[in-house]
């Protein structure tokens, strides 16, 4: 009887609490309300990009192959920012807006070195929702972010997460090293590429570009190009269709400390194997290798200049050299510290525009 009374008392108290504090069926947390607001206001500015590439079967019959990606509307003229790899090699481009309308698109400009591209549609201004750009220099690890895109062709998908790390590096399509890449755990899958990574103000802080995954699906390691990189190159992409990247025109080999000791340099650095004709390095009188020697499992072209510093900064790898040059402008002068025949000296060279594959 005592246990029954206790049970009835507990039920009675629970009913009083529920009556006093009724649960709201549609109650949302402030974070959920913010997510919903960003999705409603920004998803109309995210487009689905369908690409068609013509390949040929063994009888040389054309076989259309389709791919898809995402993009962000960046102005009322119909310009759309996306990844270069999304539209690479495409013969036909079609953009689907958030309202389901489809528009033929043309390529405005491409930048393989930053994996960015701008395409354009001729749609009325009232159909174009522009997503504002933020400042990727101010973002921090742990900051909440949102990604909107079209993973696996599922249009208008929202995922959330945080910035997991900053300052990552990644190889671009043309072999150039992209720096300061954003890492996020917001789910990014095939089809998200080219779509925006947003802060909680609804501003673009990155362009989703890749995932690291052994299973070709999101495992919480995604990467985005900082929006400040895009803001820097968009004017060139729109005005002339490409971006001028500086180069010095060498093929170099990283020499580790152990290899350096064997080769007689005693310090690690970059050994110049070859120099492109009429490139800045050629004009500055740098020398490439002449003989090939085998050191363990490595074939090394020796006899060329050995680079140990750029503008006084110690470097040991081609990635470090590319990173320094990538932050310079065409026409700037850099100073290389060179080791040649046991003598250290400095060479000034003027950076030139990297030749483009399409001429």
Catalytic residues: 85, 115, 193
Q: Are strands 144-149 and 157-171 parallel, antiparallel or unpaired?
A: antiparallel
Contact 48, 66 (CB under 8 A): no
Distant-in-sequence, close-in-space partners of 88: CB < 8 Å, separation ≥ 6: 110, 112, 173
Q: Which two tokens stand for residue 257?
A: 């400390």
d(CA 262, CA 283): 30
Residues recorded for the chain: 359
> Cα separations (Å) of 86 from 176, 189, 311?
18, 13, 37
How many Cβ atoms are within 10 Å of 106's Cβ, its own excluded? 10
Nearest Cα to 176, choosing from 90, 116, 237, 86? Answer: 116
d(CA 222, CA 197): 11
d(CA 280, CA 278): 7
> Cα separations (Å) of 183 from 70, 156, 189, 257, 261?
18, 22, 14, 31, 37
d(CA 210, CA 214): 13
d(CA 137, CA 144): 15
Q: Which two tokens stand for residue 57?
A: 């079967």
332 three-class SS = coil
The CA-CA-CA angle for residues 287, 271, 172, to 5°, reads 105
Nearest Cα to 136, choosing from 90, 188, 101, 179? Answer: 179
């Amino acid at each position: 009887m005592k246990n029954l009374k206790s049970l009835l008392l507990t039920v009675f108290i629970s009913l009083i609490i529920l009556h006093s504090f009724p649960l709201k069926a549609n109650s949302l947390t402030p974070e959920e309300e913010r997510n919903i607001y960003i999705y409603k206001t920004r998803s109309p500015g995210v487009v689905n990009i369908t690409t068609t590439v013509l390949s040929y079967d063994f009888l040389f019959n054309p076989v259309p192959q389709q791919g898809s990606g995402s993009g962000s509307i960046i102005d009322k003229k119909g310009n759309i920012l996306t990844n270069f790899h999304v539209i690479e090699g495409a013969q036909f481009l079609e953009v689907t807006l958030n309202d389901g309308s489809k528009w033929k698109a043309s390529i405005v400009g491409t930048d393989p070195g930053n994996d960015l591209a701008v395409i354009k549609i001729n749609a009325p201004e009232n159909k174009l929702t522009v997503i504002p750009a933020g400042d990727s220099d101010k973002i921090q690890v742990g900051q909440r972010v949102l990604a909107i895109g079209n993973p696996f062709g599922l249009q208008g998908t929202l995922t959330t997460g945080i910035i997991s790390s900053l300052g990552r590096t990644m190889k671009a399509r043309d072999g150039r090293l992209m720096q300061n890449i954003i890492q996020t755990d917001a789910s990014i899958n095939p089809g998200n590429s080219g779509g925006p990574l947003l802060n909680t103000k609804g501003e673009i802080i990155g362009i989703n570009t890749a995932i690291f995954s052994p299973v070709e699906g999101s495992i919480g390691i995604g990467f985005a190009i900082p929006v400040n990189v895009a803001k820097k190159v968009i004017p060139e992409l729109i005005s002339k269709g490409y971006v001028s990247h500086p180069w010095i025109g060498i093929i170099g080999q990283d020499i580790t400390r152990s290899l350096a000791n064997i080769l007689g340099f005693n310090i690690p650095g970059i050994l110049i194997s070859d120099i492109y004709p009429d490139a800045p390095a050629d004009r500055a009188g740098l020398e490439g290798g002449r003989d090939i020697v085998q050191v363990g499992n490595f074939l090394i072209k020796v006899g060329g200049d050995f680079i140990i510093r750029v503008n006084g900064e110690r470097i040991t790898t081609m990635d470090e050299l590319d990173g320094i040059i990538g932050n310079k402008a065409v026409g700037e002068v850099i100073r290389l510290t060179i080791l040649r025949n046991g003598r250290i000296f400095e060479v000034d060279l003027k950076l030139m525009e990297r030749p483009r594959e399409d001429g």
